[in-house]
Chains A and B, each alone.
Chain A
């Protein structure tokens, strides 16, 4: 890389399949060690403009092809250099690139932990309105309504104190008061992919990464100006049983978004607005939401850029907490009939990136996440909470040689909570982390890392944690990857777990504080195999064990009739996970199948851990026939064996013990009108096709059969 300073030039050209000479659509092409790049269009053409004169290495990549580098490509001022790149199909489909495992881009097969990804296309196909919907078919992930549970890490907490760390473009995104994930606030239409790391990840990410990490990565701003829009409208079918029909009219859910983007050369911008209204199939479960998302990227130089993101949402949601009884499963308990929750949440983030040299890269990031909600479920009083989270970090990634990459950084956070039920409390913390990825030979790769965290909440004694990690990857052949990982995890109790004091609400039980809570800890071990059985069939296997200590649970004291969070349980979860992904008939048909078995044992009580299913089985089949695409998803989640009987009895949740295995089939068809000259795509989704009735969360009937029509376009 050698930059001239005075004049700007460009690189244009085509990217072709090296064997068939057909143009490749969606291939990425970029100038190595810079932030300059583009994506090929439907005719395989690309254009990269406003490049300072100089010599560059141009790299082209695409899934299913070997990447190709052209060195010493000269860019001269005022001239567009035309090149043609041919990508040769990989005998084994090349792997995805992921960033979450090590905080920098890596080939998936060189990562020592289990990672699953959800693509933007899968999110769009399933009309996932909120992020939790998009995770329902990820191997090893079990959604309990809006709680995410990776390989059995999470029980019943109604979202409080998530044991899965959620990241938004690599930055923490849990609320300052309850430590929960606000699924509805993610701009679904702007997500490029979701990476799900399974197992403890605190050695890089700190608190909350006990059971895993979910990183939501937003799309790059398009290089050309465009407007994208999408509208959807759907209706809920009637339940199978007349006594569950609570409304005399059809219930609808509607929404849409529009986004516009442009690029002036040095500034790329994107703005979008989204609206969704869901009347729900349950009484007092309606919600209205507005969302605004803005992303700006300032290209200060080919090697330096600044990114700014703002994301704000407003929501009003009926507070259906649990049903009245199984006989009236679509009606809320009497105390929840009129309550609702109003929330306003928003985050603003800043990211500065710079390539100091070809081998040295650093980032500085900062984010503010504000969260305000008011709950009038108690009818005669409001519960109110406002939390503010300020977080900043700096990270350096240095490829010291062809065989060694080190990553290190530091982070700091300041939180503030003001609430009538949690009190007013500040929190402050800091961390240092380091990781070394060492390729001893082309076959063997080792990862060593650690993170030291320090945290203090309000006037409580400070706490510190040391989280090490070890990873080994063995690549005996191009089609085989063996991996081993050991990692530690921890989670500081959230302010709500420490300080909640509620003497009234939707339940008959009061909640009392416990400031003596200790952090939860976990230790994860995993051995995994990734094996291409043929050029189009890949097998993924993993055997894992996760040990948890000091698990915090909201327990009911049957004597004093109060709920209190306490470090009550030591648990061990062992399991296996296997998955097959395949494509057939020149990728016209795709099939995915995954199975996860977990054995969740409560070591203190010598019994099965509450609220964890043992078996997860997910299957998906998709088929393309020209402009027509058809797909079917099916999921099976075994019946949860143990629940908290005291909670059911004393809350009270009438018939709260009623549950069945989950057997759901979703299907969809979409038609692309691009060939007919219209920049449109229409689709029809039917979720819960068989209108199967089940609960993910006790006392909450899951959605009945739902029909959704989607129309989207770009111009």
Chain B
């Protein structure tokens, strides 16, 4: 009986020598924060075809550069969670982490697709990450390799969207 126990003990010591989990996964670069939605401001569901966090390396934008930036290779405008998935609807707030390639993102915000067409007029910015000294100006987010930027918090009020960039 003692021998099997001793064997099991030694086996555990041997097996545990590999140390288990390792942080060898590279830190996925990107930025994260919380989106806060103004109370009772959510529009009807039929005007919420999609809702994304966007990060654009280009600013200012115009209607041409939006689609060009989205479909460029590599892209210059990114959408979170993905082209097909959207941010949670009808919530008070949503936590997010947006994995991105290292770059400077000059314009970061929330994009509402409110009409089923793909016309640029079917999209509007409903909130963006701004400079606290000048709330009309977007604040750049610099994402470096191996770094996650925290605290990119944004407010959304569907009834009072910010000035549109396009």
Contact = CB atoms under 8 A, between A and B. Distances in A.
A537 B13 contact: no
A561 interface: yes
Interface string A490-508: 0000000000000110111
Contact of A326 (B15, B21, B92): B21
Contacts of B21: 326, 329, 658-660, 693-695, 701
A665 B13 contact: yes
B64 interface: no
Interface in B35-87: 36, 81, 85-87
B93 interface: yes
A605 to B, nearest CB: 22
Contacts of A663: 12, 15-16, 20
Given A334-B32, A632-B9, A589 B2 contact: yes
Contacts of B9: 619, 621, 632, 634, 665
A503 B92 contact: yes
Interface stretch (A200-208, A240-248, A266-274): A240-248
A503 B5 contact: no
B5 A621 contact: yes
A510 interface: yes
B104 interface: no
A328 B32 CA distance: 15
Contact of A584 (B2, B17, B81, B87): B2
B17 A690 contact: yes
B85 to A, nearest CB: 7
Given A378-B93, A634-B12, A329 B36 contact: no
B108 to A, nearest CB: 16
Given A334-B33, A692-B20, A562 B88 contact: yes
B4 A240 contact: no
Given A240-B19, A660-B21, A619 B5 contact: yes
Interface in A626-667: 632, 634, 636, 650, 652, 654-655, 658-661, 663-665
A664 B151 CA distance: 37
Nearest to A649: B81
Interface stretch (B22-30, B113-121, B125-133, B158-166): B22-30
Nearest to B81: A650
A117 to B, nearest CB: 20
A160 interface: no
Given A504-B93, A508-B94, A325 B87 contact: no
A124 interface: no
A24 interface: no
Interface string B87-117: 1111111111100000000000000000000
Interface size class of A (residues with CB under 8 A): 35 or more
Contacts of A695: 21
B166 to A, nearest CB: 27
B34 interface: yes
Interface in A435-467: none
Contact of B36 (A380, A537, A561, A658): A380
A660 B24 CA distance: 14
A138 to B, nearest CB: 17
Given A325-B28, A562-B88, A593 B8 contact: yes
A2 interface: no
A451 to B, nearest CB: 40
Given A503-B92, A692-B20, A694-B20, A636 B12 contact: yes
A582 interface: yes
A470 interface: no
A480 to B, nearest CB: 19
A693 B90 CA distance: 39
Contacts of A329: 21, 23
A327 interface: yes
Contacts of B25: 325-327, 655, 658
Nearest to A651: B95
A326 B22 CA distance: 8
Interface in A463-522: 503-504, 506-510
B150 A593 contact: no
Contacts of A691: 19
Interface size class of B (residues with CB under 8 A): 35 or more
A325 B2 contact: no
Interface in A65-81: none
A328 B5 CA distance: 37
A327 B26 contact: yes
Contact of B95 (A244, A508, A591, A694): A508
A558 B85 contact: yes
A334 B95 CA distance: 9
Given A243-B23, A329-B23, A509 B88 contact: yes
B96 A561 contact: no
A278 to B, nearest CB: 22
Contacts of A580: 1
B1 A584 contact: yes
B8 A634 contact: yes
A240 B28 CA distance: 21
A691 B18 CA distance: 10
Contacts of A562: 88
A504 B92 contact: yes
A503 B96 contact: no
Contacts of A506: 95
B12 A561 contact: no
Nearest to B32: A334
A701 B23 CA distance: 11
A537 B1 contact: yes
Interface string A319-356: 00000111111000111000000000000000000000
A617 interface: yes
B93 A503 contact: yes
Contacts of B15: 636, 661, 663
Contact of B27 (A244, A325, A510, A661): A325
Given A663-B12, A664-B16, A665-B16, A508 B87 contact: yes
Nearest to B98: A652
A507 B150 CA distance: 15
Contacts of B86: 561
A327 B5 CA distance: 36
Contacts of A664: 12, 16
A560 interface: yes
Given A325-B148, A327-B25, A636-B15, A660 B20 contact: yes
Nearest to A562: B88
15 contacts: A241-B22, A244-B23, A325-B148, A333-B95, A333-B97, A504-B92, A508-B96, A580-B1, A591-B1, A591-B2, A617-B8, A654-B97, A661-B15, A663-B15, A690-B13
Interface of A: 240-241, 243-244, 324-329, 333-335, 378-381, 503-504, 506-510, 537, 558, 560-562, 580, 582, 584, 589, 591, 593, 617, 619, 621, 632, 634, 636, 650, 652, 654-655, 658-661, 663-665, 690-695, 701
Given A508-B96, A663-B15, 18 more contacts: A326-B21, A326-B25, A333-B97, A334-B151, A504-B91, A504-B94, A510-B90, A558-B85, A591-B1, A619-B12, A621-B6, A654-B97, A661-B15, A665-B12, A665-B13, A692-B20, A693-B21, A695-B21
* 3 interchain residue pairs of minimum CB distance: A693-B20, A634-B12, A504-B93
Interface of B: 1-2, 4-6, 8-9, 12-13, 15-17, 19-23, 25-28, 32-34, 36, 81, 85-97, 148, 150-151
